[in-house]
Amino acid sequence: MSTPAPSAPHPEWSLVVPVKVLARAKTRMSAAAGPHREALALAVAADTVAAALRCSRVRDVIVVTDDPVPAAELAALGARIVPDEPDAGLNPALIHGAGRGRDLAPGAGVGALSADLPALRPDELAAVLDAAARAPEAFVPDAAGVGTTLYTARPGVPFSPAFGGDSRTAHRARGARELLLPGTDSVRRDVDTPDDLRAALALGTGPRTAAVAALLPDFAPSAGHGRG
């Protein structure tokens, strides 16, 4: 009797996470967050990075930032920090970080992940990355259906992100496969506005975001907002 062939191992990924200088981050949250705006921006990024690092498919998380405060905190979580040496906008920064990822692990896929996913769950990210491995390039649209929260390129495939504005349309136009998997809401739920934050809290954010949100007058603590 023949034995089944072992299944192929899941591919590994290096994910690039761009983190703004905190003074310029989460500006659409200014009225709701007040003096806690920068702390909220850092908490959201930290919960995102922590969840990505817990994902079984992720080999490295490479944070591109020129702000020493998030650089120190995210490095302490286990992320690799690179400066935004091109200083020419978001997509060049992502390409710079992806180059570092391919230097570290030439056989791994590379991806660009939004830093604004405080409800991100490692198992949902793993499911999306497994689907992404079946296409040369792939992307996940944000919850609004306009932007992008994750863009990926398999090993050997040029890394050509098109973030900014209607990036969903831009990535489609470039031939990247759109991934809309059931049960992966946390990968799509980015946070830019107060309504976004409410939706993320309803999903269950990481502990840092929940703690800062509890300080905001418009976000009274309630059961189920946070998760460990």
More confidently predicted of 156 and 228? 156
Given a cut of 60, whether residue 1 has pLDDT beyond it is no
pLDDT interval class at 117 (50, 70, 90): very high
Instruction: State the amino acid at position 88 in one-letter form.
Output: A
Contact 188, 150 (CB under 8 A): no
**What average pLDDT score do residues 144-168 get?**
96
User: How much of the chain, in percent, has pLDDT values that exceed 90?
Assistant: 88
Given a cut of 60, whether residue 201 has pLDDT beyond it is yes
In the sheet with 137-141, reading across from the earlier edge strand, the strands are: 80-82, 58-64, 13-18, 109-113, 148-153, 137-141, 177-178
Numbered residues of the known binding site: 148, 164, 167
CATH code of domain 13-206: 3.90.550.10
- Contacts for 114 with CB less than 8 Å, ≥ 6 apart: 17, 48, 142, 148, 149, 150, 190
Given a cut of 50, whether residue 173 has pLDDT beyond it is yes
Given a cut of 80, whether residue 114 has pLDDT beyond it is yes
Given a cut of 60, whether residue 121 has pLDDT beyond it is yes
Tell how strand 148-153 and strand 109-113 pair up.
antiparallel
Per-residue pLDDT tens digits for 63-72: 999 999 999 9
- Listed by start position, the domains of the chain span 13-206
How confident is the prediction for the chain on average, in pLDDT?
93
Numbered residues of the known binding site for phosphoenolpyruvate: 148, 164, 167
Q: What does the pLDDT read at residue 226?
A: 56
Given a cut of 50, whether residue 145 has pLDDT beyond it is yes
**What average pLDDT score do residues 137-144 get?**
97
Q: What does the pLDDT read at residue 6?
A: 41
Given a cut of 50, whether residue 120 has pLDDT beyond it is yes
Given a cut of 80, whether residue 34 has pLDDT beyond it is yes
Per-residue pLDDT tens digits for 74-83: 999 999 999 9
**What average pLDDT score do residues 167-183 get?**
97
**What average pLDDT score do residues 27-43 get?**
97
Question: What CA–CA distances, in Å, run from 41 to 33, 34, 111, 172?
Answer: 10, 12, 21, 29
Given a cut of 70, whether residue 197 has pLDDT beyond it is yes
